[in-house]
Amino acid sequence: MVEEKKGPISSNFFTMVFVLTIVAVLSALALGLTYVTTKDRIRLNSQLETQRAIRKVLPSNYDNDPTRDRYTVSDEEGEALSCFPARRDGKLVGTAIKTYSDEGFNERIELMVGFDPDQRIIDIYVCEQSETPGLGNKIGQASFIEQFRNISLQQVPGFELVVGREIDGITAATISSRAFCDAVNRAYRVLSRGRKR
Amino acid sequence: MNILREFKRGIIQENAVFVLLLGMCPTLGVTTSAFNGLGMGIATTAVLICSNLVISMLKSVIPQKVRIPVFIVVIASFVTMVELLMEAYLPDLFKALGIFIPLIVVNCIILGRAEVFASKRGVLPSMLDGLVMGTGFTIALFVLGSVREILGNGAIFNQKFVAEDASTIIFFILPPGAFVALGYLVAIFNRMKRERSETDN
């Protein structure tokens, strides 16, 4: 009872429901307003991020917009992967594929892998990873990614990169290294499947 | 009201992290680098100032029995707004802080300041309280993030000062290292505070 006297408004059923409803409605309005004003900018950011990744892994001599020519190919698990073809004068000069692996230590690893027309790896960009800092997150380091450059998966046994065979894993981060290879292998399978069709 | 004394209260006497030990989830979770600590601190400060402002304005119309739900609705709205604004205008920081931004909602400092301060005081003192408590929180997160980045990565603000492949004390980047680093910092802080009060007497 003493507590109730402290409140400037008495806590009866009507005031409680009324005040809480008003506060919730006003909050929802403010939220909606913020969402509408930031929506476009957020979408633009993610597009810019994709374009940055594509530019990193493809040769710079293309003249089309790979994000506009995007097509999807589904992998064995039925998930659709985005492929970004780069063309010059209508001729294919490379394909960037946004690939993933769920074999990582924490959450999904997402990579952008660029292939030249001979299906050789041009470069790889790490879009998303939450591997252990100091150990697994070294998959983003240039010294690790460099190993993949110019590899043609067609000439690799089983068409698959294996840690310890073609690729030197990162010390104390075998799982992350394997997941990285898994994502690259997936990109290659999608690339050759998209080609067959 | 002495502004300088207020800042001293927020940063030293009632420092949210080192003295009150509130808001431990973001404190331990995001402070893997100086930049992350600073970003989280500033985001929390922004929410704290805004929620203190609104709650001090609403204090006379909030029925006592539903005050906590009202506080939480206000705080959660500001957190979501900060999250959207950050995603739009500071995407790199947003990427680094990730899951911890929504968790500002459950940061006890914010609800704590609403309950013990903003719901009883005027608008200006409440905003100042948000600013000084947030500053204390930010400084603490920045110090903790710096210590962990220096020891764990051999870097500060992503600038490495040791060789690229030199082995550092990775332990301090990992979650257990956060507890150990925080423990030592609290000890150092208490020691400094005690020495100060002894010289004052």
Q: Residue B199: its pLDDT value, please?
A: 73
Helix (H) or strand (E) holding A109: strand A109-115
A23 and B69 Cβ atoms separated by less than 8 Å:
no
Burial of B155 (0-12, 13-18, 19+ CB in 10 A): middle
pLDDT over 50 (residue B119): yes
CB-CB under 8 Å, B87 with A11: no
The percent of residues above 70 in pLDDT, for chain A, comes to 94
Q: What is the number of other CB atoms lying within 10 angstroms of the CB of residue A40?
A: 10
Helix (H) or strand (E) holding B155: strand B155-156
Q: What angle do CA B135, B140, B144 make, to 5 degrees?
A: 150
pLDDT in tens, B76-109: 999 999 999 998 998 888 887 877 888 888 888 8
Name the residue ranges covered by the structural domains of chain A: 2-55, 58-196
Q: Tokens at residue B159, please?
A: 């600038």
Q: Predicted ipTM?
A: 0.75
What does the CA dihedral A174, A177, A182, A184 come to, rounded to 10 degrees?
-170
Q: Which residue of A has its CA nearest to B97?
A: A130
pLDDT in tens, A124-134: 998 888 887 77
Average pLDDT on A180-184 reads 91
Query: Which residues lie across from B152 on neighbouring strands?
Result: none
Q: Which residue of B has its CA nearest to A20?
A: B70
Name the pLDDT band for A32 (thresholds 50, 70, 90): very high
Q: Residue A2: its pLDDT value, please?
A: 39
CB-CB under 8 Å, B60 with A12: no
B2 and B92 Cβ atoms separated by less than 8 Å:
no
Chain B residues within an 8 Å CB radius of A133: 32, 152-153, 170, 173-174
- The tally of CA atoms less than 13 A away on the side-chain side of residue A117 is 8
B102 and B83 Cβ atoms separated by less than 8 Å:
yes
Name the DSSP letter for residue A131.
P
**Does any CB of chain A come closer than 8 Å to the CB of residue B148?**
no
d(CA A64, CA A87): 6
Q: Which residue of A has its CA nearest to B173?
A: A133
pLDDT over 70 (residue B12): yes
Phi, psi of A140 (to 5 degrees): -85, -10
pLDDT over 50 (residue B56): yes
The percent of residues above 70 in pLDDT, for chain B, comes to 98
Query: Which residues lie across from B155 on neighbouring strands?
Result: B160
Average pLDDT on A152-181 reads 85
d(CA B177, CA A67): 42
Q: At what angle do helices B67-89 and A13-57 cross, to 10 degrees?
A: 20
pLDDT in tens, A53-64: 888 888 888 888
Which of A9, A10, A135 is closest, CB to CB, to B170?
A135
Q: What's the pTM?
A: 0.77
